[in-house]
Amino acid sequence: MKKDTQVLIKLSEDEKSSFKRAAELSGIGFSAWARERLRSAAIKELQDAGEKILFLKPVSLKPEIDAR
């Protein structure tokens, strides 16, 4: 997935420090941590509203046949 758009949000210093620490404890970078948490929250809220989740791609449940 191409990531070429930024989101700027205002945080208190305590929030920023806590979020960065949580990312460290998770073993991933702050940006990845924040994106993962935002995606999770968006999925729940959009599903609850019955709306399409644009960043999720459909998955086929049929096995692919190898044409070799």
- Reading the chain (68 residues) residue by residue, the pLDDT tens digits are 788 899 999 999 999 999 999 999 999 999 999 999 999 999 999 999 999 999 998 888 887 777 66
Can you give the pLDDT at residue 29? 97
Instruction: Please check whether residue 55 is in contact with residue 43, taking contact to mean a CB–CB distance below 8 angstroms.
Output: no
- Give the number of other Cβ atoms within 10 Å of residue 26's Cβ: 13
CB contact set of 46 (below 8 Å; sequence gap of 6+): 52, 53
Instruction: Please check whether residue 24 is in contact with residue 34, taking contact to mean a CB–CB distance below 8 angstroms.
Output: no
Can you give the pLDDT at residue 67? 64
Specify the pTM: 0.77
- The Cα 33–Cα 39 span in angstroms is 10
